[in-house]
A and B are shown apart, each in its own frame.
Chain A
Amino acid sequence: MPILRIALSAALVCAPALAQWLNYPTPGIPRLPDGRPNLDGPAPRTADGRPDLSGLWEPVGPANSSFVGNTARDPQFADVAKEVKGGLPFQPWSANLLKARLAADSKDDPDSKCLPLGPIKMHLHPYPRRIIQMPGLLVILFERDTTYRQIFTDGRPLPEDPQPGFNGYSTGKWDYDTLVVETIGIKDGTWLDVRGTPLTSAAKITERFRRPTFGKLQIDITVDDPKAYTKPWSIHVDQTFAADTDLLEFVCLENEKDQAHLNGGIR
């Protein structure tokens, strides 16, 4: 009997370890007595006393939001202006550009061509992302297309003449418990959502990251792009901690058969 008990309990203990890696319990997170993650506790802090934004995060949508597979979708992914009262302050040309993109069923969305999405649309993408916060650097690893973004927190200034890129160039500074990130150097042609809301290389993006509890990440984003908009505008993104899982390898170009069938509404 004692032998049997030991054998059984050993099997129980080993089971999660040998299970699929997606179910591996995230080490070092607070748990309730029943073993479930306790997401309502305080945010963790780094050795230097800053909130630690590290962890796996997923966007939260309203209760009635649609789903991609089993992942909740923030409706701002489709329409970044969803919560902006009165809509976005478009310049005339950018309003027309959005109209044209909508008329073509958004067929030229960089996402459907497996191109990078840029920092704002990446915050809203349904697939999870991992933030790794280190002294001097914060890195976001995205499941979508297995790509990353760097935010330098080592005190360096923004470059004067950045190389235009999909992610731009980002530096971050702490303002009490808020990480304030400024980004410039985004390339022209960026889409902020599935509709095709434009962003130009004149844009300056400010993101304010806050982790009010263990399980919550809040990102306030201000877009100041005088080429495309008559004044700056802001949105809010909520993300939730994804415990006991990990990033899968998602490669957009893998066995990609969709692009050839995008016809822009010609039926």
Chain B
Amino acid sequence: MIIRHATLAPALLWFIAPVFAQWINYPTPGTPRLPDGRPNLSAATPRTADYHPDLSGIWRLEPAPCAADSIQGCGGDYRGGPEFGNIGARLSGGLPYQPWAEEFVKNQAPDLGKNDPVAWCKPSGALRLLTYPPYRKIIQTPVVIVLLSERDVTYRQIFTDGRPLPKDPSPSWNGYSIGKWQEDTLVVESVGFRDGTWLDRRGSPMTEAAKMTEKFRRTNFGNLEIEVTVDDPKAYKRPWTIKLHQLLVPDTELLDYYCNDNEKDSAHAVGK
């Protein structure tokens, strides 16, 4: 009997361990699981009480194959997708820059990204928030969908309460977004961006003339497809469309990442 209890004690400890471990290992409640306890990422798309797909979860952009990933490298916790470096990376023929925009991007290369707003802890803007290597969490309610970004502990709201887009929005980094469900696709329209937004590390610009349409589709439990169309006639000759494939990250949480906390880099930024 004593021996049996002795073997039980370590088993209990083992079972309890994850609960007391670091909070980023806390199992995400409501996640479908395989018999061995691992998350079943090919399970069906979850649905809300009103039967829309539930986009809620923590997501990361599908990383690039290692060799193509020149910006982030292959190591580290946060492998980026190629769109973080070049939002048109997987667009055949590249982005249809207007001449001034092409010149602008060309001029950034020798400056090694020192004019990038995020190098100065400015917001990334709505689109770049979807390509940033740190994770993002979507929370969905019937009237608003919110993206919480680990990068700089910031958020973006998408109103789904039927309101129209504003006629004369206050220009901002995130713009103003409304979403409507079309069958199982959430179609989000955004206006009200500000001039001076960078869409990627190379400096692909976005201006306040931009209109962005995003189509969110959660194809199963572990996969979220976001098709993004940017229509910015000031910076691009024609609208362009990219796909940002996001993968669910289970059993973790967003960490506090404050760009401006103990920031020592910007003073050392070099360039031409």
Check B122 against A251 for contact (C-beta < 8 Å): yes
Residues on B with C-beta less than 8 A from A146 are 123, 154-155, 174
B181 interface hit (Cβ, 8 Å) = no
Known: A136-B29, A139-B139. A115 touches B154 (CB 8 A): no
Check B146 against A27 for contact (C-beta < 8 Å): no
Comparing A62-70, A79-87, A154-162, A228-236, the segment that makes contact with chain B is: A154-162
CA distance A157 to B121 in the complex (A): 33
B162-181 contact mask (Cβ, 8 Å, vs A): 1 or 0 = 11101111101110100000
A95 interface hit (Cβ, 8 Å) = no
A127-142 contact mask (Cβ, 8 Å, vs B): 1 or 0 = 0000010101101010
A253 interface hit (Cβ, 8 Å) = yes
Residues on A with C-beta less than 8 A from B29 are 136, 154-155
Which of A157, A165, A249 is B256 in contact with, Cβ under 8 Å?
A165
A238-252 contact mask (Cβ, 8 Å, vs B): 1 or 0 = 000000000111010
B100 interface hit (Cβ, 8 Å) = no
- Number of residue pairs spanning A and B whose beta carbons lie under 8 angstroms apart: 109
A157-191 contact mask (Cβ, 8 Å, vs B): 1 or 0 = 10111110111010000000000000000000000
B141 interface hit (Cβ, 8 Å) = yes
Residues of B43-87 whose CB lies within 8 A of A: 49
Residues on B with C-beta less than 8 A from A114 are 121, 260
CA distance A207 to B139 in the complex (A): 23
CA distance A161 to B20 in the complex (A): 8
B140-156 contact mask (Cβ, 8 Å, vs A): 1 or 0 = 01011010100011110
Check A157 against B19 for contact (C-beta < 8 Å): yes
Interface SS majority for chain A = loop
B193-210 contact mask (Cβ, 8 Å, vs A): 1 or 0 = 000000000000000000
Known: A163-B22, A253-B122. A147 touches B154 (CB 8 A): yes
CA distance A21 to B172 in the complex (A): 13
Residues on B with C-beta less than 8 A from A141 are 146, 155, 157
CA distance A160 to B20 in the complex (A): 6
Which of B19, B144, B152 is A132 in contact with, Cβ under 8 Å?
B144
CA distance A17 to B166 in the complex (A): 8
Known: A161-B22, A251-B123. A115 touches B258 (CB 8 A): yes
Check B164 against A18 for contact (C-beta < 8 Å): yes
Residue total for A at the interface (Cβ-Cβ under 8 A): 44
Check B120 against A253 for contact (C-beta < 8 Å): yes
Residues on A with C-beta less than 8 A from B20 are 157, 159-160
Interface SS majority for chain B = loop
Residues of B245-266 whose CB lies within 8 A of A: 253-256, 258, 260-261
A20 interface hit (Cβ, 8 Å) = yes
Check B168 against A148 for contact (C-beta < 8 Å): no
Residues on B with C-beta less than 8 A from A145 are 154
CA distance A264 to B97 in the complex (A): 49
Check A132 against B146 for contact (C-beta < 8 Å): yes
Which of B141, B157, B170 is A134 in contact with, Cβ under 8 Å?
B141
Known: A139-B146, A169-B23. A249 touches B172 (CB 8 A): yes
CA distance A216 to B179 in the complex (A): 30
Residues on A with C-beta less than 8 A from B164 are 17-18
Least distance between A132 CB and chain B CB atoms (Å): 6
B161 interface hit (Cβ, 8 Å) = yes
**Taking each of B143, B148, B255, B260, which has the highest tally of chain A beta carbons within 10 Å of its own beta carbon?**
B260
A150 interface hit (Cβ, 8 Å) = yes
Known: A139-B148, A154-B29. A159 touches B143 (CB 8 A): no
Nearest B residue to A158 via CB reads B23
Check B143 against A163 for contact (C-beta < 8 Å): no
Residues on A with C-beta less than 8 A from B155 are 141, 146-148
A116 interface hit (Cβ, 8 Å) = yes
Check B22 against A159 for contact (C-beta < 8 Å): yes
Residues on B with C-beta less than 8 A from A93 are none
Check A148 against B121 for contact (C-beta < 8 Å): no
CA distance A147 to B156 in the complex (A): 9
A selection of 11 A-B contacts at a CB cut-off of 8 Å is A21-B163, A21-B166, A114-B121, A139-B146, A139-B148, A141-B146, A156-B23, A159-B22, A159-B23, A248-B170, A249-B173
Interface residues of B (CB under 8 A from A): 19-23, 26, 29-30, 49, 120-123, 139, 141, 143-144, 146, 148, 152-155, 157, 161-164, 166-170, 172-174, 176, 253-256, 258, 260-261
Shortest beta-carbon contacts, A-B, top 5: A165-B256, A249-B172, A21-B166, A159-B23, A160-B20
With A21-B176, A166-B256 already in contact, 12 other A-B pairs whose C-beta atoms are closer than 8 Å: A20-B170, A21-B163, A27-B161, A114-B121, A115-B260, A132-B139, A148-B148, A148-B155, A155-B29, A163-B22, A166-B261, A247-B157
